[in-house]
Amino acid sequence: MSRDQKFFDIYSLVIGILAAFALAILVLAMKISDLKQGVYTRDTAEYQAQVTARIRPLGQIYLPGEQTEASAPTIETAVEPKPVATALSGPQVYNSACLACHGAGIGGAPILGDAAAWAPRITQGADVLKDHAINGYTGQVGYMPAKGGRIDLSDEEVADAVEYMVSEAQ
């Protein structure tokens, strides 16, 4: 068998398979169209209603002299809920703001629970400690930023944190 004859045979086989595949797709498409053709026909009320709904105008035009009653516009205002500010407790403020320095003694800050480091500060009085915590303080040993650097905290929250740290030192 020659090489040309072998090529021709394979080529014919491939063309035959492709033609059979195309014929199968054609028959399948015709079968599906026959099944779907009965669903919507041009003369049914359902089909006409669908067409009318798709092409209906968005608005209406009135010529001079024609009057219709227009509905009064309504304006709805959404009521925004007021944010509820919940005060943090002393331990919560300590864990979120004070722990960074008072947990490791950074900048001369007395470590939570170290009675020896807290004793000289406690003898100054609770009012002085709260004032230093709220307004900030620069002393011989270190530096205390106002509200521990968390300006978003209220004075009461900072005072609660000071009371918590003092109670842990005693």
pLDDT tens readout for residues 91-138: 888 888 888 888 888 888 888 888 888 888 888 888 888 888 888 888
CB 40 within 8 A of CB 47: yes
- Alpha carbon distance 91, 75 (integer Å): 47
The residues pairing with 137 across neighbouring beta strands, listed in sequence order, are 144
Domain range list for the chain: 3-55, 90-169
pLDDT category, 84, cuts 50, 70, 90? low
**Between 87 and 5, whose confidence is greater?**
5
Does 90 have pLDDT greater than 80? yes
- Alpha carbon distance 107, 90 (integer Å): 21
Sign for the CA dihedral angle at 129, 119, 110, 115 comes to: negative
- CATH class belonging to 90-169: mainly alpha
For residue 119, the model assigns a pLDDT of: 86
CB 78 within 8 A of CB 133: no
- Alpha carbon distance 153, 90 (integer Å): 11
Name, of 4-8, 14-18, 130-134, the range with top average pLDDT.
Answer: 14-18
Mean pLDDT of the chain: 84
- Interhelix angle for 155-169 vs 126-135, to 10°? 130
Closest of 135, 144, 72 to residue 108, by C-alpha: 144
pTM, two decimals, is 0.50
**Between 165 and 75, whose confidence is greater?**
165
Residue 144, class by beta-carbon neighbours within 10 Å (0-12 exposed, 13-18 middle, 19+ buried)? Answer: buried
For residue 38, the model assigns a pLDDT of: 60
